[in-house]
């Protein structure tokens, strides 16, 4: 008898037993609804904005630098007087996460109402920290689409994912940080060191948008919809209890950490990058432009049969901003699928120039998704789409993208943005892949601004330089009277042009794994 089925059955039985012994959420916990406070409320933030932005006008500032992106979040937490609404897919318990958590606790101590909504995909080992935040009378934490059985054991989580695959495969990927319903941040960054250039081994090249004016009220309405949805469970349901003494000790530790962090050379650099003082004083100009918030409804996580017109992709189509001249797409996880290919072929047929920037295989943090993209490379190039793949390590040429002298050894693209016709700019959480389109909930802002389009395009073009990215080409060759095609990766390395015919910076084993992954019939889950 083959022992493998027996071992598999034993593993499943063990998972069932462990799940049965693990603590569970109290699903009967009361969900008290709450709403964002009116954007008309007088606050210091509002007073500062009133001097810089005309009434009923939205303003924007690009956060391309990790230091500025972290500093802006800390500044919003420190300036808030009435409310802070924080919504993230991931909130790590690392140095950046602790610095932000300390700022939230300080705001709560000033009387600010703090609401924190976190997707439950990565909270199993963070329950005590979340429960500690939730123990503050001015802070409430909720978990989106939670695992009902609570365990860090991968067998238990795997068993739940298997038995509730339709629900638990759908995650809240939204990201928002909103102060006093006056200024908000959205974009690609979660809360964690790698998103703020604070990880010495690996950083994400990312992009956020600082927003003010009426568009923030739309962000707050979206937050409320998620906060009050059936999928959001109060952290009080967790099988963890936190005493006042523990809250006091944790608060003191985080305040001490925050003070030390701010006084360090790194902390001083971050705080110096804060763009808010200059924006509120008029020393730096907001980009004033009309904009639209597009966001998946929270029910997308619970209802797999929602009509596409109600989803983010349908809302985007409803804006009628299809490109007529140029399309720039920046997506770390890029799997166009048949529908995306149909759009690209149509755009190329109508004369639209299309450029796509994504990760090289060696730079991707999710090889499975890269395999899905790799299956479309030849078809994309045949259609006339320009493909660029970001290197994990680039030549130190300076420029807008990142400063390699800070010591990061490897980088991955994480920004999610596109520019149509040098005027319409999307910045948000949406990856150009089936998971973002169909499974996860996503959000983003479409800004109708030639100025912002120039800024985003300049950053992307800097990333596409041959020192930083590979430009892909499709070569036709004849071998033994058989015509075939092969991919070429062209770049510049240490001042010299070079061409490679296999996935750059990979081993034979990695390339073999990629071939296996490309054969798996799982594109709809990528």
Rounded Cα–Cα distance for residues 174 and 87 (Å): 7
Q: In the predicted model, what is the mean pLDDT of residues 155-167?
A: 85
Residue 372 predicted with pLDDT over 80: yes
What are the residue ranges spanned by the domains of the chain?
29-281, 291-525
Which is higher by pLDDT, 503 or 13? 503
Q: Is 343 exposed, middle or buried (0-12, 13-18, 19+ CB in 10 A)?
A: middle
Judge whether residue 395 has pLDDT over 80.
Answer: no
R_g of the chain computed on alpha carbons:
24
Tell me whether domains 29-281 and 291-525 share a fold: yes
What CA–CA distance (Å, rounded) separates 6 from 362?
Answer: 37
Active-site residue (options: 92, 173, 300, 391) = 173
Residue 370 bears catalytic tag: no
pLDDT above 70: residue 363: yes
The answer to whether 414 is a known catalytic residue is yes
Judged against a pLDDT cut of 70, whether residue 12 lies above it is answered with no
The CATH-assigned architecture of domain 291-525 is 2-Layer Sandwich (3.30)
In contact, 86 and 114? CB cutoff 8 Å: yes
Which single residue is written with the structure tokens 């083959």?
Answer: 2
Tokens (6 digits) for 12 = 């499943």
pLDDT of 164 reads 87
Per-residue confidence band for 40, with pLDDT thresholds at 50, 70 and 90:
confident
pLDDT digits (tens, 9 = 90+) for 268-320: 999 999 999 999 999 999 999 999 999 999 999 999 999 999 999 999 999 99
Query: In angstroms, rounded to a whole number, what is the distance separating the alpha carbons of residues 223 and 317?
Result: 22
The question of whether 173 is a catalytic residue gets the answer yes
Candidate list 61, 300, 370, 416, residue with the active-site label = 416
Q: Does the annotation count 421 as an active-site position?
A: yes
Cα torsion at 145, 148, 149, 152 (round to 10°)? 20
Which pLDDT band, with edges at 50, 70 and 90, does 15 fall under?
Answer: very low
* Band of pLDDT at residue 114, cut at 50, 70 and 90: very high
425 vs 152: which has the higher pLDDT: 425
Mean pLDDT, rounded, for 122-139: 95
Q: Where are the alpha helices (DSSP H) in 22-115?
A: 44-50, 66-79, 95-109
Q: What is the pLDDT of residue 145?
A: 97
Mean pLDDT of 433-446: 97
What average pLDDT does the segment 36-44 reach? Answer: 86
- Cα–Cα distance measured from residue 193 to residue 49, given in angstroms and rounded to the nearest whole number: 30
Residue written as token pair 């009628």: 320
- pLDDT at residue 1, rounded to an integer: 41
In this prediction, residue 291 carries a pLDDT of 98
Q: Active-site residue among 98, 157, 414, 424? A: 414
pLDDT bin (cut points 50, 70, 90) of residue 25 is very high
DSSP-assigned letter for residue 438? I
pLDDT at 502: 96
- Active site annotation includes 505: no
Q: Strand, helix or coil at 295?
A: strand
DSSP annotation of 91:
B
What is the share, in percent, of the chain residues with pLDDT greater than 70?
A: 92
Per-residue pLDDT at 156:
79
pLDDT tens digits for 44-57? Answer: 999 999 999 998 99
Marked catalytic residue, from 322, 421, 422, 505: 421
Whether the per-residue pLDDT at 125 is higher than 60: the answer is yes
**Local structure of residue 191 (DSSP, 8 states):** B
Q: Rounded to whole angstroms, how far apart are CA atoms 226 and 173?
A: 12
Higher pLDDT among residues 154 and 491, named by residue: 491
Mean pLDDT of the chain: 92
* Percent of the chain at pLDDT exceeding 90: 83
Can you give the pTM of this predicted structure?
A: 0.94
Q: Give the pLDDT score at 42.
A: 85
Q: Which of 61, 175, 370, 391 is catalytic?
A: 175
DSSP-derived pairing of the beta strands 326-330 and 469-479:
unpaired
180 catalytic? Reply is yes
Interior angle at CA 286, CA 283 and CA 292, nearest 5: 170
Quick check: 393 and 411 in contact, CB under 8 A?
A: yes
Mean pLDDT in residue range 195-208:
93
- Does 403 score more than 80 pLDDT? no
SS3 111: coil
Whether the per-residue pLDDT at 17 is higher than 80: the answer is: no
- Specify the CATH class of 29-281 in words: alpha beta
Angle formed by the axes of helices 66-79 and 265-272, to 10°?
80
CA separation for the pair 179, 210 (Å, rounded): 11
Average pLDDT over residues 185-213: 96
């Amino acid at each position: 008898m083959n022992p493998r089925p027996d071992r598999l059955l034993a593993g499943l039985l063990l998972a069932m037993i462990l799940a049965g012994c693990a603590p569970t959420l109290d699903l009967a916990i009361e969900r008290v609804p709450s709403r964002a406070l009116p954007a008309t409320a007088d606050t210091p933030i509002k007073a500062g904005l009133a001097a810089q932005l005309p009434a009923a006008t939205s303003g924007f500032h690009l956060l391309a630098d990790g230091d500025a992106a972290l500093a802006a979040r800390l500044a919003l937490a420190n300036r808030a007087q009435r409310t802070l609404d924080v919504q993230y897919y991931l909130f790590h318990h690392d140095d950046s996460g602790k610095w932000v958590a300390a700022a939230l606790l300080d705001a709560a101590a000033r009387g600010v109402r703090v609401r924190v909504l976190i997707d439950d995909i990565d909270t199993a080992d963070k329950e005590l920290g979340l429960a500690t935040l939730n123990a503050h009378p001015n802070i409430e934490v909720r978990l989106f689409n939670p695992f009902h059985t609570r365990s860090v054991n991968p067998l238990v989580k795997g068993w739940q994912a298997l038995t509730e695959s339709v629900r638990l495969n759908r995650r809240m990927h939204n990201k928002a940080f909103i102060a006093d319903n006056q200024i908000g941040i959205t974009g690609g960054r979660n809360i964690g060191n790698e998103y703020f250039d604070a990880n010495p081994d690996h950083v994400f090249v990312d992009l956020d948008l600082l927003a003010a004016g009426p568009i923030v009220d739309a962000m707050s309405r979206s937050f409320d919809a998620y906060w009050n949805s059936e999928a959001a469970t109060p952290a009080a349901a967790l099988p963890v209890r936190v005493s006042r003494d523990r809250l006091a000790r944790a608060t003191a530790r985080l305040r001490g950490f925050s003070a030390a962090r701010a006084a360090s050379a790194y902390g001083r650099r971050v705080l110096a990058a804060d763009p808010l003082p200059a924006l509120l004083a008029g020393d730096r100009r907001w980009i004033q432009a009309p904009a639209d918030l597009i966001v998946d409804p929270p029910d997308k996580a619970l209802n797999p049969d929602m009509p596409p017109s109600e989803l983010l992709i349908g809302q985007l189509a409803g804006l009628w901003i299809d490109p007529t001249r140029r399309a720039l797409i920046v997506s770390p996880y890029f799997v166009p699928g048949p529908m995306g290919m149909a759009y690209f072929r149509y755009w190329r047929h109508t004369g639209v120039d299309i450029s796509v920037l994504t990760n090289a295989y060696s730079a991707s943090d999710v090889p499975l998704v890269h395999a899905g993209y790799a299956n479309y490379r030849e078809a994309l190039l045949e259609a006339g789409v320009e493909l660029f793949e970001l290197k994990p390590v680039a030549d130190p040429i300076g420029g807008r993208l990142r400063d390699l002298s800070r010591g990061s050894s490897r980088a991955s693209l994480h920004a999610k943005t596109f520019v149509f016709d040098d005027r319409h700019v999307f910045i948000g959480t949406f990856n150009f892949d089936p998971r973002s389109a169909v499974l996860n909930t996503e959000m983003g802002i479409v800004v109708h601004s030639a100025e912002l389009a120039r800024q985003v395009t300049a950053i992307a073009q800097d990333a596409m330089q041959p020192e930083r990215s590979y430009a892909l080409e499709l070569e036709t060759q004849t071998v033994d009277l058989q015509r075939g095609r092969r991919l070429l990766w062209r770049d510049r390395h240490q001042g010299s042009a070079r061409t490679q015919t296999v996935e750059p910076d990979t081993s034979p084993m990695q390339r073999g794994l990629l071939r296996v992954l490309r054969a798996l019939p799982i594109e709809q889950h990528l």
